[in-house]
Amino acid sequence: MTLMTENLMRSASLNIISPKGFKAAGIHCGVKHKKKDLAILVSEVPANVAGVFTTNVIKAAPLLLSKEVVHNTGKMQAIIVNSGNANACTGKQGAEDAYTMQKLTAEKLGISSNLVGVCSTGVIGELMPMDTIKAGIANIEAGSQLEDALDFSQAILTTDTATKHTAYTIKIDGKEVILGGVAKGSGMIKPNMATMLAYVTTDANISHETLQGLLIDTTEKTFNAITVDGDTSTNDTVLVLANGLAGNNELTPDHPEWNVFTEAFNAVCEDLSKMIAKDGEGATKLIEVNVTGGKTELEALQIAKTVVGSSLVKTAVFGCDANWGRVICAVGYSGMTVNPETITIQIGSTTVVEFGEPIPFSEEVLKEYLKQNEVKIAVDMGIGEGIGTAWGCDLTYDYVQINATYRS
């Protein structure tokens, strides 16, 4: 993404609790054998909330509960998250367990239950070890130090190899506004969300309705534009909390600095999306596909998603094989408007197809390029003004190994 706003600054020293009034924690409570597995995020005041959720018809109990809070209450003050168990496909007991997690967290914080979101990630189809969870909720204490933010980011992980967090500062109405983001996601990642949990916090003053609309629009270009393996999970959730403590005037599309905020918001979501794609299970490379010249932006984005999601494209990148035939093939079955005679394809800076015709290129040059940990493929459809970008990763031997032994 090209940053257009001069006062938009990404800072490595900021995190999910850097916006005013937020605290977090992450601990090991026993759902997992050794690693941290219970996390909490708290705002000192009720925050306006927005959320997007999985498109899978099978939805986990905690997701349904959090969706209920977002759409019925419009506010959220705390989120309790566990990893190691998805609490999905667990029937009535699973629903009761999710509500118990919500109730215990609310009681601990002295707030209303309908201000608490619940998220779970991990193995599907196993009942939650509620004695362990209850003890964990009793023991967890949210704090405001960097270590607390890092503990939170670690406690939400499953097969991830790294934590994923980002933050930006901007000026709105002369006030410093901070946006922080954290996510987990490594497998079961497909366009239209992922086996991912993502949380964005901000101290900006913005209504639930405006924030929800912004999140939906931004998700299409970020969280819905990544893929690892073509699977869509039962627990995919993105939640955004805005508590208004920065003291700016309410942000709406009519605010003179609306674009400043939306650019920062998009930057947070894009950063997290790319981190998830790059950390795909067994992945060694991030693949970025940029499509221009599509009939519409929606069509260009769908073509980009199709190319980056192709198993043959992903394995070719893993093998450092400049097999552009796999790229143009994916374009062709994308279901979008395609004219074979107007397509131009570049791998890195090397043109391999021009107006549908193959162009001689150096196999050795491209082989060296494909050894990099980030690979860019550009497709110019040559039929319109639509543009779209999607991110994914290569498909490796390790992906099979990780998922063949996921429950062992």
**Which of 132, 195, 210, 396 is labelled catalytic?**
195
Any residues with CB less than 8 A from the CB of 71 and at least 6 apart, and which? 51
Q: Is 195 a catalytic residue?
A: yes
* Gap between the Cα atoms of 241 and 76, Å rounded: 7
* Gap between the Cα atoms of 53 and 210, Å rounded: 17
Question: 305 to each of 105, 262, 308, how far by Cα in Å?
Answer: 39, 23, 5
Radius of gyration of the chain, Cα coordinates, nearest whole angstrom: 22
What is the CA angle 61-64-66, rounded to 5? 110
* Gap between the Cα atoms of 173 and 182, Å rounded: 26
Q: Residue length, the chain? A: 408
Name the token pair of 356: 């549908």
Give the containing element (helix H, strand E) for 38. strand 38-53
Any residues with CB less than 8 A from the CB of 85 and at least 6 apart, and which? 31, 120, 122, 123, 126, 128, 129
Catalytic annotation, residues: 195
